[in-house]
Amino acid sequence: MSKTDALSHEADRGGPRQPLILARNLKKHFPVRSGLFNRQTATVHAVDDLSFEVRKGETLGIVGESGCGKSTTARLLIGLMELDDGSIIFDGDILGSDISLKDMRRSVQMVFQDSYASLNPRLTISDTIAFGPKVQGLSDPKDRARHLMARVGLDPNRFAHRYPHELSGGQRQRVNIARALAMSPRLVILDEAVSALDKSVEAQVLNLLTDLRVEFGLTYIFISHDLNVVRYISDRVLVMYLGEVVEIGPVDAIYAKQAHPYTASLFAAMPSMDPDNRTQEPPLAGDPPNPIDPPPGCRFHTRCRFAEHVCRDKRPALAAFGDDPDHLAACHLRDPSSGHSLAGKEIAA
């Protein structure tokens, strides 16, 4: 296994300090239409004013509940959905002006959650993997496919001519990973890629992902709802709530101390794994609200136990929390000038 430094990738132009992806004020709204004349009656704020960066060679974990916009974000980054507003800058190149979507697609690939729906049932495994290289005009797509199958742990002689339904879930997900790698991407978005797998298989795939990252010099965006898995694989974590970033920072910092009450609730909702010390009180009541016409101000204020007037009136900005300039949270509690009665005080969120 040759160790390639993620930062010395052949296509790397901006240098190690240039973020691989800079997402600025991404916005994606979906109209909800109903009634006799199909009029727009509401708006789903799937992603709203979302800004973050993905650094070269890192794994950025994205966590949040259903409807928080994780998957929409992934689809925006890979160009499967069009942005309503905002810009994506890939290694210094603005998508749409400096770099075309077609060119970026070669560098950004995705692995989907549903290993079965993401494979064409009528194509053999090797045809599926070879499809991308073939349309991009890369040399020897079949050889490439066989090589990658071997690399993800599927013997090409046994599996090349099989069909997806003849494989187990873990094997199918290996195929999906091989297909993503076939394009020699720099960024791989893993959208709940291990969530549907059995735990014992999940661990195998996580090990594989860790190896591949080093070997191919990859950067990952790892979307998941499982905080244990995110902690294991990520360098930094981004927490989303109703289409917005509520907290972002290094894994260890956030897992040690959560700045945002929502992040804290997510952590408190994790199973305790201690039969003598089980969870006694649910951290949040009710379901995550619908992203249709979200509440004003801080979107979490409807469920937050620290909510005050200011939270309803003013949208908090992302600001550094504690002494780590990398650890940001969007909460009035953490901004001494916000006017929140507990602002700036040392309280556990």
Partner 1 sequence: MSKAPLLQIENLHVRFKSDRTVHAINGLNLHLQEGEMLALLGESGSGKSVTLKTLLRLLPPKRTEIDGTVQVNGTDIMTLSGTRLSAYRGGDVSMVFQEPALALDPVYTIGDQIAETVMRHKSVGRAEARQVALDMLTRVRIPSPERRLKNYPHEMSGGMRQRAMIALALASRPKLLLADEPTTALDATVQIQILLLLRELQREFGMSIIFVTHDIGVAVEISDRVAVMYAGNIVESGSTRDIIKDARHPYTRGLLAANLHGVDRGRRLDTIAGSPPSLETKPDACSFAPRCTEARPQCLRALPPFFAPSPGRQVACNLEEGYSPASHGLTAAPAIAC
Partner 2 sequence: MASAISPLAASSPSGTTVTAPKTRSYWSNVLRRFLKDRIAVACAVILLLLILAAIFAPWLDLADPYRGSMIKRLRPIGTEGLPLGSDEQGRDMLARLIYGGRLTLLIGLLPVVFAFFIATVLGVAAGYAGGWVNTVIMRTVDVFFAFPSVLLAIAISGALGAGIVNSLVSLTIVFIPPITRVAESVTSSVRSLDYIDAARASGGNALTIVRVHVLGNVLGPIFVYATSLTSVCMILAAGLSFLGIGVKPPEPEWGLMLNTLRTAIYVNPIVAALPGVMIFITSLCLNLLSDGLRSAMNVKD
Amino acid at 152: V
Q: Binds 66, which of partner 2, partner 1, none (CB < 5 to 8 A, cut-off by type)?
A: partner 1
The Cα-based distances of 93 to 85, 96, 97, 99, 216 in angstroms read 17, 9, 8, 6, 22
Q: Which is nearer to partner 1, 234 or 338 (CB)?
A: 234
SS3 273: coil
SS3 132: helix
CA angle 56, 62, 66 (to 5 degrees): 155
Task: Determine phi and psi for 340, rounding to 5 degrees.
Answer: -75, 140
Q: Are 285 and 231 in contact (CB under 8 A)?
A: no
The Cα-based distances of 304 to 3, 67, 218, 221 in angstroms read 46, 18, 38, 28
Q: Which of 4, 27, 163, 216 is close enough to bind partner 2 by CB under 8 A?
A: 163
Residues in the chain: 349
Q: Which is nearer to partner 1, 167 or 248 (CB)?
A: 167
Q: What is the DSSP letter of 332?
A: G
Q: How many CB atoms lie within 10 A of CB 20?
A: 25
166 binds partner 2 (CB under 8 A): yes
Q: Which of 7, 32, 269, 342 is close enough to bind partner 1 by CB under 8 A?
A: 269
Q: What H or E segment, with its residue span, contains residue 88?
A: strand 85-90
The CB-of-231 to partner 1 minimum distance in angstroms stands at 7
SS3 23: strand
Amino acid at 181: L
320 binds partner 1 (CB under 8 A): no
Contact region for partner 2 (CB under 8 A) — 7-15, 163-171, 276-284, 323-331?
Answer: 163-171
Q: Which is nearer to partner 1, 97 or 277 (CB)?
A: 277
Q: Which of 198, 293, 313, 326 is close enough to bind partner 1 by CB under 8 A?
A: 198
Q: Which of 65, 84, 93, 114 is close enough to bind partner 2 by CB under 8 A?
A: 114
Amino acid at 89: I
Binding mask 231-250 for partner 1 (x = CB under 8 A): xxx-----------------
Q: Which of 19, 69, 132, 217 is close enough to bind partner 2 by CB under 8 A?
A: 132
Contact region for partner 1 (CB under 8 A) — 20-28, 80-88, 224-232, 337-345?
Answer: 224-232
Cα 109 from Cα 100, distance rounded (Å): 15
- Give the interface with partner 2 as residue ranges (CB under 8 A): 75, 78-80, 102, 105-106, 108-110, 112, 114, 117-123, 128, 131-132, 135-136, 153-155, 158-159, 161-163, 165-168, 170-171, 174, 176, 179, 183, 204
- Give the interface with partner 1 as residue ranges (CB under 8 A): 65-66, 168-171, 198-204, 206-207, 210, 225-229, 231-233, 251-252, 265-266, 268-276, 278-288, 290
